[in-house]
Amino acid sequence: MSPIKAIFWDVGGVLLSNAWDRSQREQALAYFKLDEEEFADRHELVVSSFERGKIRLNEYLERTVFYRPRPFTQEEFKNYIHSLSQPKPEVLAFAKTLADSGHYLMGTINNESLDLNLYRIEKFGLRGIFGLFISSCFVGLRKPEPEIYTLALEITQQAPEECCFVDDRALNVEVAKRLGMHGIEMDTLDQLRGDLTKLGVMV
């Protein structure tokens, strides 16, 4: 088996809580007393553009929430969204240890809108762990589209069999494996450590 030279990580659900996934949206809708069905219809129409970086957070909110007057401001809504992002400290510390070892190229492959991605990179010190961010908002591609994984391989000039991809969703991992990468569907940190050890990663 070829030695692992690069480890690519999902962000939401692995290193941090999700940024604006179903659970976070449900919490915000309940907190601000918004109609769930009405919001969902509008969200589905713009989420692809939002996560591909074609529209910014303000425009997304104008289309999904503030298309009519509300008893709260955009700033209040954005602050609430930001408050939903929480770290997974043990996983972040583990990733930092791998980065500090100098043995592995560390990057992300993640779906995230531009403003939330930049906020989370800064807020949780992700630049101190990762040297490369293959984020949907930067590259205009989303998992599980094979092209986003291929782009990561092309940019880093790594062979697929020398790369590992960590995600909490089975389909995203399956696509990475079909391209020849090693894939780990993360459930717990202990399980992740064990799976990486089996691949020869020094943990």
pLDDT on residue 107? 98
Domain residue extents for the chain? 6-17+87-198, 22-83
pLDDT on residue 158? 97
Burial class (CB in 10 A: 0-12, 13-18, 19+), 132: middle
pLDDT on residue 176? 98
pLDDT on residue 8? 99
CATH of 22-83, one of 3.40.50.880, 1.10.150.240, 3.40.50.300, 3.30.70.3040: 1.10.150.240
pLDDT on residue 9? 99
pLDDT on residue 203? 84
- CATH 3.40.50.1000 at 6-17+87-198, yes or no: yes
Average pLDDT of each block of 10 consecutive residues along the chain (203 residues)? 95 98 98 98 98 98 98 98 98 98 98 98 98 98 98 98 98 98 98 98 91
pLDDT on residue 1? 76
pLDDT on residue 179? 98
Please enumerate, as own/partner, the contacts of 124-131 that have beta carbons within 8 Å and a separation of 24 or more: 124/15, 124/16, 124/85, 124/87, 124/92, 125/92, 126/11, 126/15, 128/96, 128/99, 129/92, 129/95, 129/96, 129/99, 130/9, 130/99, 130/106, 131/105, 131/106, 131/107
